[in-house]
Structures are given as structure tokens and as C-alpha cells.
């Protein structure tokens, strides 16, 4: 088994071509400015445009090129084992509202795809959360009961269509899977047809709430808008208020065709063994592509991601004889410390600024739900679950104080410990011993320096201090990126921002000074 080299674009990104949009080059004034071109931002823009508002979308890179472009494409209201947790933390009514809102988002995806005539390989299939070990059965029985009480068509089963036995599973009927970028391509085409303006390669660096709000880009151009929506995965411009209520995790993804006649009959997930999430999607030749996610880890912790890909590949070959690996990528998600996504008014940013984040790996239903909910808030509608997802909620945060404090302690530990680690030979040894493709954080002139040796043997050096809140980055050896362990910012080997909340690149350093 020989794993692929540096991960490339996802299967979804390779098989759907989006139109290109130029950067914003002149000041603008609109009813609503949406920051972020993933499923949450584009869904919100689409809902607002359909409501008759003039809308502008501002994307720092390419549309759907971030978290959305690297998802697995599941559209389901069964989110691993969330309902028993929700019932325990927030009560039965909260679990019921969560189920009904996520189910409404699923139905909306099906309706929109049908209305727009989008061919996005949408298939209605059951979703299952399973365990192989007997000691996980009791928890799944409780989850099945909680999900059923919340209103889902849920049951506990011991038989599945997987090619290996399970000890038990929660099964929810009539969920969906699709090609997420094919779906969003239809949304984008309709947005353009309806007169919305879309700009790529336009990084927003500031938002001032008010009436109107002022949105400022890196090039100094200003957009005035009555409403602003921050749909950037991590909530930028919240002055660290929401950052403290979010934890980051990253999942590795591999994909490849299964031998003819093999399929698994649904969508599956288990938390065992570092997590495994499975689904298939149809290929043009009639085969099925297995999409497998797992080996979850926190970014910036120095995890051996190359080894993680190897474990995922070995697992797929063992469970699916004849599986052939031909795609691999990675996805990053964030979760709120009280389990619930954060959708609604952005705290401290003014009454007309909204945010959508904290989807915990279920951003497809979450992003569509966010579009519906924010559009309702902007236009004066009343959604029964608005209070459930309100980022300004207090009671839920109090009930989850333990998880909140743990997240802050973890960030604090990294802030101190990582600096101490650089006082020795470096986090991954001295620069002189770096092999090609490796990276390490060392001290240079008394300051932490992130150093990478590329495949040609040349060194690239940047500051190791994250430009968000000052934690030290660590090297991801599979994706060859620098990642912050505190809030998940990601940077290229030359310091460019790949993923926020950081807005500024890592400062360059001269390799000759090492």
C-alpha cells in the first residue's frame, strides 16, 4: 500500500466547475452583504435574494473552496449521537426543536434542488450511527429512544448493509446524500440570474455595525449594507467572544471506487477507532465511490496526519476488499461548547450583523438552516427555533460551563507549553535535520520561527506566532500547512492565510538567519 502524496482537491471540487468571479473593485451599497461563499453564505444569500433584497457575496478565495468543498455530502438530521446529549443538557423541547429544524433543512434541500432542476446526485437513504463493540450498545439504545422522542423516524437495529458485523445502530429513515457542489452550482446560477453580485478573492478585514453597516476589504474598498451576515466558518469580527465557545477539529477523507455490485445501502458513522464516517455516491460508469472520513484530530497539535491517512486507507482495504484509493483530502469543523450551532445576531457587532457557525461537522443541513433562519430574522419572520440557536443565549452556556472551561484551558496550555518546546531543539528537531517535506518550530533571534523544507530542499521560514491571538502554530506533515491549536487558523508554508479566524499572514523570516 503506497499512500498518495500531498492531498489534492476533493472529489466534489474535481467534478463540478464553478464560474469565476473577479474581486470587488468599487464601493457598493446593498440591502445585505454576505461574507463567505460556502453553503451557509450562499444559502443565506439565496434566501435573502428570493425575499427581494439586493445582495452582495464576498468570498476571500473561491466559492465553496473551504469547508463546504471538503465535506462528505450527507444531508441528515441524525448527527452521530446528539439527541441524548441535547435532552440531557437542554431538555426534551430543545431536542425536539433541533430535530424539526434540521429535518426542515433537509426537506428544503430536496425542494430547492427540484425547483431549480439541479442534478446533484441526490439520493434518499437511511442514516445510521453504529458501534462494533458491545459496550457501546447501551448508549445507542438511549440515542435511538431520544431521537424517536424528538420526532425522528428512529429505531435501534443490529443488522445493517455494511460488509462487517455491528453490535448495534441507531437508524433514521428517509435522509439524503448528494453532490454538495453540484447543488451549490445551481444556487450560484440562480443567484446571478436574480441579480445578486458575487465577488471572489475579496478578503473582508472589518465590519462596523450600524445602520448602515460598513464592511471593509483588504484592498480598502467599503461596502455599505443594512444587514451583514458573517458565514466564514469561524466567526470573524466577534472580538473573541464566540471564539471562546468553539472548539476545532479536523477529519481526514479518502475516496475511491468500490468493486462492481458493492454498496452499503445508507450513510454510516461511528465514533469508535478515531471516528469512521461512510457513504457512497454514483460514478458515471455505474460504480459507486466510497467516501470515508475519520482519524479526527485537533489542528495544530502536531498530529502525524500522514500516518492517519495510512490508517484510514488500511481500514478501507480491510473492510472493503478491492477498494482502490484515488482521492484524499481533509475537512475542518468547529463545535460549540454547548453542542448547539450559533445562528443569529453576532454579539457585540450591532443589531444588524448575523453569524452562522458551530455546525459540528453537520454543516450541510446546518448551513441551509442558517440561510432560512437568518433570512427570517432579517425580514421580520418568526421561526420557532430562533431562540434555540441564538448566539447570545445565556442559559445554555451556563449549563455547559465545564466544556467551556476545558476548551479555554486547552488553549492556555498550548499558549505556554508550545513556547517552552521551542526553547530546545525545536518542536520537530533542529532545522539542520529537517527532511524534505518536514517542518519544525524553533527559536531564531529569540523569536519562534516556523521552518519548512520543501521537496527541492529549500527552506521557507515565517513567524510561528498566529496572527489571530498569538498562539504558536504547528506543522501538518500531510497537508504541509501551519495550523494554530487555539482557534484553528491555517497557513501555507509561506505564511498565507488558508483558513481563519486569522486575517493576516504569518510574518516572513529570512532562512539565512536560522
Write out 159-196 in H/E/C secondary structure: CCCCCCCCCEEEEEEEEEECCHHHHHHHHHHHHHHCCC
Among candidates 416, 381, 455, 502, which has minimal Cα distance to 5?
455
Query: 352-363: per-residue pLDDT in tens?
Result: 999 999 999 999
Average pLDDT over residues 264-280: 96
Residue 118, pLDDT > 50, answer: yes
375 by DSSP, 3-state: which? Answer: helix
Is residue 1 very low, low, confident or very high in pLDDT (cuts 50, 70, 90)?
very low
- pTM comes to 0.89
Q: Are strands 267-270 and 276-282 parallel, antiparallel or unpaired?
A: antiparallel
Q: Give me the chain's average pLDDT, please.
A: 90
For residue 417, what pLDDT is reported?
Answer: 52
8 Å CB contact between 506 and 482:
yes
Half-sphere exposure of 482 (CA within 13 A, CB side): 31
Q: CB of 37 within 8 A of CB of 63?
A: yes
Whether the per-residue pLDDT at 318 is higher than 80: the answer is yes
Separation between Cα atoms, residue 419 and residue 464, nearest integer Å: 10
User: Residue 348: CB partners within 8 Å, gap ≥ 6?
Assistant: 238, 239, 241
Which of 31-35, 122-126, 237-241, 427-431 comes out lowest in average pLDDT?
Answer: 237-241
In 3D space, the residue among 495, 486, 468, 467 whose CA is nearest the CA of residue 418 turns out to be 486
Percent of the chain with pLDDT over 70: 92
More confident residue, 200 or 301: 200
| 437, 458 contact by CB (below 8 A) | no
* Residue 83 contacts residue 94 (beta carbons within 8 Å): no
In DSSP terms, 400 is beta-bridged to none
Over the stretch 371-402, which tens digit does the pLDDT of each residue have? 999 999 999 998 999 999 999 987 645 554 45
pLDDT at 415: 47
pLDDT, tens digit (0-9, with 9 covering 90-100), for 144-163: 999 999 999 999 999 999 99
Report the share of the chain in percent with pLDDT over 90: 73
d(CA 317, CA 324): 8
Delineate the domains of the chain, giving CATH numbers in brackets. Answer: 11-71+186-244+339-393 (3.50.50.60), 74-181+253-303+311-321 (3.30.9), 411-513 (2.102.10.10)
pLDDT the model gives residue 240: 63
Angle at 226 between CA 223 and CA 227, to 5 degrees: 90
Higher pLDDT, 230 or 1: 230
Greatest mean pLDDT among 302-316, 392-406, 498-512: 302-316
- Decide: residue 361, CB within 10 A, 0-12 exposed, 13-18 middle, 19+ buried: buried
Tell me if the bond preceding 212 is cis, omega within 30° of 0. Answer: yes
What pLDDT, on the 0 to 100 scale, is given for residue 413? 52
Amino acid at each position: 500500500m503506497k499512500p498518495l502524496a500531498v492531498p489534492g482537491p476533493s472529489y466534489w471540487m474535481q467534478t463540478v466547475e464553478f464560474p469565476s468571479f473577479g474581486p470587488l473593485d468599487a464601493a457598493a451599497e446593498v440591502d445585505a452583504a454576505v461574507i463567505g461563499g460556502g453553503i451557509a453564505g450562499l444559502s443565506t444569500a439565496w434566501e435573502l435574494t428570493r425575499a427581494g433584497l439586493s445582495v452582495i457575496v464576498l468570498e476571500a478565495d473561491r466559492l465553496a473552496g473551504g469547508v463546504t468543498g471538503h465535506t462528505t455530502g450527507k444531508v441528515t438530521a441524525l448527527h452521530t449521537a446528539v439527541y441524548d446529549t441535547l435532552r440531557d443538557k437542554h431538555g426534551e423541547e430543545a431536542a425536539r426543536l433541533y430535530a424539526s429544524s434540521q429535518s426542515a433543512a433537509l426537506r428544503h434541500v430536496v425542494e430547492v434542488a427540484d425547483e431549480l432542476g439541479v442534478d446533484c446526485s441526490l439520493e434518499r437513504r437511511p442514516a445510521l450511527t453504529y458501534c462494533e463493540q458491545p459496550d457501546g450498545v447501551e448508549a445507542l439504545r438511549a440515542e435511538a429512544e431520544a431521537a424517536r422522542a424528538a420526532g425522528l423516524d428512529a429505531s435501534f437495529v443490529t443488522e445493517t448493509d455494511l460488509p462487517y458485523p455491528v453490535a448495534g445502530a441507531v437508524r433514521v429513515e428517509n435522509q439524503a446524500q448528494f453532490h454538495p457542489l453540484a447543488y451549490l452550482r445551481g444556487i450560484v446560477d440562480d443567484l446571478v440570474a436574480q441579480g445578486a453580485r458575487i465577488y471572489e478573492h475579496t478578503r473582508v478585514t472589518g465590519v462596523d455595525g450600524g445602520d448602515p453597516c460598513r464592511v471593509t476589504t483588504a484592498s480598502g474598498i467599503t461596502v455599505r449594507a443594512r444587514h451583514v451576515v458573517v458565514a466564514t466558518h469561524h466567526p470573524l469580527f466577534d472580538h473573541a467572544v464566540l471564539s471562546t465557545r468553539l472548539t476545532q477539529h479536523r477529519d481526514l477523507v479518502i475516496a475511491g471506487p468500490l468493486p462492481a455490485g458493492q454498496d452499503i445501502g445508507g450513510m454510516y458513522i461511528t465514533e469508535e477507532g478515531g471516528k469512521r464516517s461512510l457513504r457512497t455516491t454514483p460514478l458515471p460508469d455505474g460504480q459507486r465511490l466510497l467516501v470515508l472520513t475519520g482519524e479526527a484530530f485537533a489542528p495544530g497539535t502536531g498530529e502525524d496526519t500522514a500516518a492517519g491517512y495510512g490508517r484510514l486507507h488500511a481500514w478501507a482495504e480491510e473492510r472493503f476488499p478491492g477498494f482502490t484509493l484515488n482521492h484524499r483530502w481533509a475537512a475542518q469543523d468547529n463545535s460549540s461548547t454547548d453542542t448547539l450551532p450559533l445562528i443569529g445576531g453576532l454579539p457585540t457587532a450591532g443589531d444588524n450583523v448575523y453569524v452562522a457557525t458551530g455546525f459540528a461537522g453537520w454543516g450541510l443541513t446546518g448551513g441551509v438552516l442558517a440561510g432560512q433562519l437568518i433570512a427570517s430574522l432579517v425580514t421580520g419572520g418568526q421561526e420557532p427555533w430562533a431562540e434555540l440557536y441564538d448566539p447570545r443565549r445565556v442559559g445554555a452556556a451556563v449549563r455547559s460551563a465545564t466544556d467551556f472551561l476545558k476548551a479555554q484551558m486547552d488553549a492556555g496550555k498550548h499558549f505556554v507549553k508550545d513556547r517552552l518546546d521551542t526553547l530546545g531543539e525545536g518542536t520537530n528537531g533542529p532545522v539542520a535535520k529537517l527532511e524534505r517535506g518536514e517542518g519544525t518550530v524553533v527559536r531564531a533571534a529569540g523569536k519562534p520561527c516556523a521552518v519548512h523544507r520543501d521537496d527541492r530542499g529549500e527552506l521557507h521560514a515565517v513567524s510561528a506566532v498566529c496572527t489571530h491571538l498569538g498562539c504558536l502554530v504547528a506543522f501538518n506533515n500531510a497537508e504541509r500547512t501551519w495550523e494554530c491549536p487555539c482557534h484553528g487558523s491555517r497557513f501555507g508554508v509561506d505564511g498565507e492565510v488558508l483558513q481563519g479566524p486569522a486575517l493576516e499572514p504569518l510574518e516572513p523570516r529570512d532562512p539565512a538567519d536560522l
